[in-house]
Amino acid sequence: MNTAYNFAFFDEGSKREIRRATLKAIAIPGYQVPFASREMPIGRGWGTGGLQLTLSLIGKEDVLKVIDQGSDESVNAVSIKKLVSDTTGVQITDHTSRATIIQSRHRIPEVPLNKDQILVLQVPLPEPLRYFEPSEHETKKLHAEKEYSGAWLMLFEQIMKYGSMTTGADHPVMVHDRYVMAPSPIPRFDNSKMNENEALILLGAGREKKIYAVPPFTKIVSLDFEDYPFEGESFDGKCCRLCGSEGVFLDELIDEATGETYYQCNDTSYCCEILNEVEKAGVN
């Protein structure tokens, strides 16, 4: 641990400001609370919102897991883990079930979260209405009036043009029957995991200076139409090439030598855990 810095990098005033915004965000699920996003030692848009939430939450007893697109070992995840562990000395883990704070970019882990965990999601674009309304002043008004026709119209136009809703990730959701919220660019596959989740989910957008939250056991509904129901990505009949898991989010990869398409778990620590269990069972 590097003692030249404050515990958790921030001064106490910065933590207090982020904490006050976080508490308001929990009290108003799905509402984007503005906060004074701090300058961080990583670039804006690289997870500064999530990092600020993590640093404001973390204590000596916490166990931290950071994932980037399902991977514990990508550059972004490793840098964030290094920064937090250098300034706090907390334990780092890859195991989802052992972590108390999980900071994630673009995935909700495959292992179901429990009540003692907090999931922190990094958000690039927190405003689900930004696509059709460039003015922040106007989108705030639309949220205030619960005027979400634009969000539905956006999906309707996609259906008209392409025959289905084409939101690959970040498919907008309705929180507690009040706010339309960007769930951060998680794949549609993960949207249903947000609904009535056991863990507290906090979302932070550093560049856009917004914090919002989904408390545990909160109703989350992905926007859709009666005749065009919302569907997550389907991996029917496919399984992970390494661990054989089905019903998880898979990455599609192509073997360049043979041109063959194969699939692999996107959540690397989940895949590893399954493989280790199989190996253990084999040895015994």
Q: How far apart are CA 55 and CA 7, in angstroms?
A: 9
Work out how close the CB of 262 gets to another protein at its nearest, in angstroms, rounded to a whole number: 40
| 91 lines the binding site for another protein (CB under 8 A) | no
Binding part of the chain for another protein, among 164-172, 209-217, 222-230, 263-271 by CB under 8 A, reads: 209-217
| 216 lines the binding site for another protein (CB under 8 A) | yes
Catalytic pick among 13, 30, 204, 232: 30
| 207 lines the binding site for another protein (CB under 8 A) | no
Q: How far apart are CA 215 and CA 198, in angstroms?
A: 9
Q: Could you give the angle at which helices 75-88 and 48-57 cross, rounded to 10 degrees?
A: 30
The residue within the footprint of another protein, chosen from 40, 51, 57, 66 (CB under 8 A), is 57
Count of CB atoms within 10 A of residue 184's CB? Answer: 27
The residue within the footprint of another protein, chosen from 115, 164, 252, 261 (CB under 8 A), is 115
Beta-strand pair 200-205/118-122: parallel
Cα-flanking dihedrals φ and ψ of residue 113, to 5°? Answer: -80, 155
The residue within the footprint of another protein, chosen from 38, 47, 50, 58 (CB under 8 A), is 58
- Residue 126 in contact with residue 212, Cβ under 8 Å? yes
Work out how close the CB of 154 gets to another protein at its nearest, in angstroms, rounded to a whole number: 22
Nearer to another protein, 215 or 232 (CB): 215
Q: Give the interface size with another protein as a residue count (CB under 8 A).
A: 45
Q: How far apart are CA 160 and CA 132, in angstroms?
A: 17
The residue within the footprint of another protein, chosen from 103, 167, 218, 222 (CB under 8 A), is 218
| 28 lines the binding site for another protein (CB under 8 A) | yes
DSSP string of 27-91, one letter each residue: HSTT--EE--PPP-SS-TTSSHHHHHHHHHH--TT-EEEEEETTBSSSHHHHHHHHHHHHHH--E
Catalytic annotation present for 240: no
Catalytic annotation present for 239: yes
Catalytic residues: 30, 239, 243, 265, 271
Can you give the binding site for another protein, defined by CB under 8 A? 6-8, 12-13, 15-17, 19-29, 31, 33-34, 56-60, 115, 118, 140-141, 143-145, 176, 178-179, 196, 200, 213, 215-219
